[in-house]
Amino acid sequence: MPEHYDLDRFRHNIFAANYRAGQHVFFMGRTQFAGKTTMAFALLDAVTAPELPGTVFCMKTQDRVVSALTRRLDYIETPTWPPQRKISNWHPRGHTLWPRQGLKNPEADEAHLEREFDKALLWHQKHTPGIVFADELQGLVALKKIRARLRAVVTRAGGAGLGLWYANQKATGIREATIDGYFKNSPTWTLMAKDPDERNLGAYSDISAGIPAKSIHEQVLKLDRNSWLAIHRDGPYWCVVDAFDPAWKV
Ligand SMILES: Nc1ncnc2c1ncn2[C@@H]1O[C@H](COP(=O)(O)OP(=O)(O)OP(=O)(O)O)[C@@H](O)[C@H]1O
Ligand SMILES: [Mg+2]
């Protein structure tokens, strides 16, 4: 039986206390219900610092949660990379890279997103340690160049101190842009939310990390809203994070 922790105990005593630069983290859960973006920011808040800066990649045209948490964490939002440096905040602990989309020409928007994320990923590969949080992995791997670079980071750059964190709604990906095996095998921590869809549960078990797939299914189905089954690959070790906060507002 996994132990239960509230969010603050988990993120400070378990996650941040053991996090090493270069470790990858995967957040899985269906849209809105899980709270992937919220959980990722909560963990970024516990580990990022000017010495271990984070960059959040946002490719949605709007996301209230991303804009509110960017401000709450004192991250700097930038539409382009490299960000403009501010004298008042020369070494921020993080940025949110949120390229603007004109929405008139989808190809031009896609090319623009690809260029901006590519510059930021290359920068992070050259400036370690750091963390890139690829919110919406699904959309990012649909950009060819980004897919190749994310793959390089997740399979090789870990040792060099760049941790790739990513969130996805489906463990399997979609037919047009599958989530390759290395995204499931590389993370040190995998956080899974409840998903009643059997096919997704099947994909959860790819990430068993030595814990029987059947036990993972059982535990995931018992989770409450906004709670997580967190699996640490190297233990293997698992616990439940009861992160639901009825008073939570963004
Ligand atoms: N621990 C929590 N307690 C209470 N409310 C939460 C919690 N986590 C997230 N929420 C709320 O749930 C909603 C969805 O959260 P969030 O945007 O983080 O989900 P998501 O999984 O990233 O969704 P999407 O797939 O659409 O990006 C938001 O309104 C958010 O404030
Ligand atoms: Mg989200």
Q: Which two tokens stand for residue 47?
A: 């580990």
pTM of the entire structure? 0.95
185 backbone φψ class: left, alpha, beta (φ>0; ψ -120 to 50): alpha
**232 close to 189: Cβ distance less than 8 angstroms:** yes
Q: Which protein residue's CA is at the shortest distance from atom 2 of ligand 1?
A: 244
Best residue among 65, 227, 228 to mutate for probing ligand 1's pocket (most ligand atoms within 8 Å of CB) is 65
Q: Which two tokens stand for residue 75?
A: 């991250």
Q: Which amino acid is at 56?
A: V
Q: Which protein residue's CA is at the shortest distance from atom 10 of ligand 1?
A: 35
- Which helix or strand (DSSP H or E) is residue 148 part of? helix 144-156
Residue environment code for 124-152, b if the CB has 16+ CB neighbours within 10 A, otherwise e: bbeebebbbbbbbbbbbbbbeebbebbbe
Q: What is the pLDDT of residue 176?
A: 64
Nearest ligand to the C-alpha of residue 34? Answer: 1
Q: What is the pLDDT of residue 173?
A: 65
Tell me the per-residue pLDDT of 132-170, one tens digit each, with 9 for 90 and over: 999 999 999 999 999 999 999 998 866 689 999 999 987
Helix and strand counts by DSSP (H, E) for the chain: 10, 12
Best residue among 31, 38, 56, 192 to mutate for probing ligand 1's pocket (most ligand atoms within 8 Å of CB) is 38
Q: Which amino acid is at 124?
A: H
| Domains delineated in the chain | 3-248 (3.40.50.300)
Confidence of residue 200 (pLDDT cuts 50, 70, 90): confident
Q: Which amino acid is at 187?
A: P
For residue 87, the CA-to-ligand 1 centroid distance in Å is 33
What is residue 173's three-state secondary structure? strand
Task: Round to whole Å and give the CA distance between 73 and 24.
Answer: 20
**186 close to 154: Cβ distance less than 8 angstroms:** yes
Strand partners, 52: 49
Mean pLDDT of 208-228: 87
Mean pLDDT of 228-247: 93
Q: Is 6 in the pocket of ligand 1 (CB under 6 A)?
A: no
**Residue 204: pLDDT above 80?**
no
Q: Which protein residue's CA is at the shortest distance from atom 30 of ligand 1?
A: 35
Average pLDDT, the chain: 91
Atom of ligand 1 nearest to the CA of 246: 4
Which of 197, 205, 198 lies closest to 229, judged by CA? 205
- State the CB neighbour count (10 A cutoff) for residue 160: 13
- Which helix or strand (DSSP H or E) is residue 76 part of? strand 76-78
Q: Provide the pairing of β-strand 228-232 with 189-192.
A: antiparallel
Q: Note if the bond before 236 is cis, omega within 30 degrees.
A: yes
